[in-house]
Amino acid sequence: MAYTGGMAAKTLHAVDYLADPDKHAPKPVCAVFGDDAFLRRQAIIKLRHVVLGGDEGDFSLASFEGPKVELRDVLDELSTVAMFGGGTRLVVVEEADEFVSRYRPELEDYVARPARTGVLLLELKSFPGNTRLHKAVAADGLAIDCSAPRAAGLSRWLATWAQQAHRVKLPPSAVEVLLEVIGPELGLLDQELAKLALVVGADKRITPEMVTQLAGGWRAKTVWEMLDAALAGDARGAMIQLDRLLAAGESPIGLLGQISASLRRLAAATRLVLQAQQSGRRISLQAALEQAGVRAFVLKKAERQLRHLGSERGNELYDWLLQADLDLKGASALPARLILERLIVRLAAPRQQVNA
């Protein structure tokens, strides 16, 4: 009998699962889903270790390609006890979105009465929460949401992951710089942490200066060259850097994430200046930028950039970033490249042309 919705469904975020997997034992049916490939991979690795244990557990592992496999083959594996290794089998269906679409009713029935000899693990990019199958897995199995965490959650995850996966300390100041340099791409952040972990001292502490000097490589440098060119009024130079980054396979959403932190600081400084003016006070651009979190060694450059933008555009930055983020995530039919180009043109335009 398929799931009918009689039990409250609970979905666990991958960040919480990876922080303490022992609290969340695998169930006969598990689903790992969401738009962040790094989190999906880490959740699968952890589930595999918990279910199968050491190397001998590989005898009890079967993996299938979702677009090609038939349900009967998956069910046969789940009902078979391995000749070697542990008694519980782990059957992974990778890229299972199309597999789930083909066999949704049968899978709903399976969740209600699963085989006890195996664990079925579905890896999906999308697993809508309003479907009966999602509700069934969340209620009776283990549903792990691997969507990228939001900004505040990302900072917490990064500090925890540095300690957990790389055995290093990452203070908030270094978290801020690393996110600014790399952006919100979890896989890239993990790679940079791995590199930084090799050069830490005896205290195992990553400093902001280490991040600035060592993280990012040419792509990070190119992102900042693109932003610097735009905020200096050089639209052509910024477009050239954008071309290089997209040609190298950079994600448009990742690029926006990398420049957003700097632009939000300029926006925050603008609002501090405007609020002071409205209350009859005066505040210097440098003081406003310091209050907005701009670091000392880039204060002069940030002041020039804010003067280039002017108060009107500086006050619109929050709206521009929000709109670009929404558009890149599906709110606009424009190609991602044009969405980024539009933002660059707005930033680079001469101050007197902001309303053109």
Domain over 12-145 is classified CATH 3.40.50.300:
yes
pLDDT at 86: 54
pLDDT at 151: 72
Strands 89-94 and 61-65: parallel
Low-confidence ranges of the chain (pLDDT < 70): 1-9, 54-58, 82-87, 216-220, 297, 352-356
For the chain, domain boundaries = 12-145, 151-214, 217-350
118, 89 contact by CB (below 8 A): yes
Nearest of 96, 112, 145 to residue 28 by alpha carbon: 112
- Candidates 1.10.10.60, 3.20.20.140, 1.10.8.60, 3.40.350.10; correct CATH number of 151-214? 1.10.8.60
Here the tokens at position 208 are 């902001």
Q: What CATH number was assigned to the domain covering residues 217-350? A: 1.20.272.10
| Dist. CA 126–CA 212, nearest whole Å | 36
- What are the phi and psi torsion angles at 63 (to 5°)? -120, 140
pLDDT at 177: 84
H/E stretch holding 189: helix 186-197
Beta strands in the chain (DSSP E): 12-13, 29-33, 61-65, 89-94, 118-124, 142-145
Region class of 204: left (phi > 0), else alpha (psi between -120 and 50), else beta: left
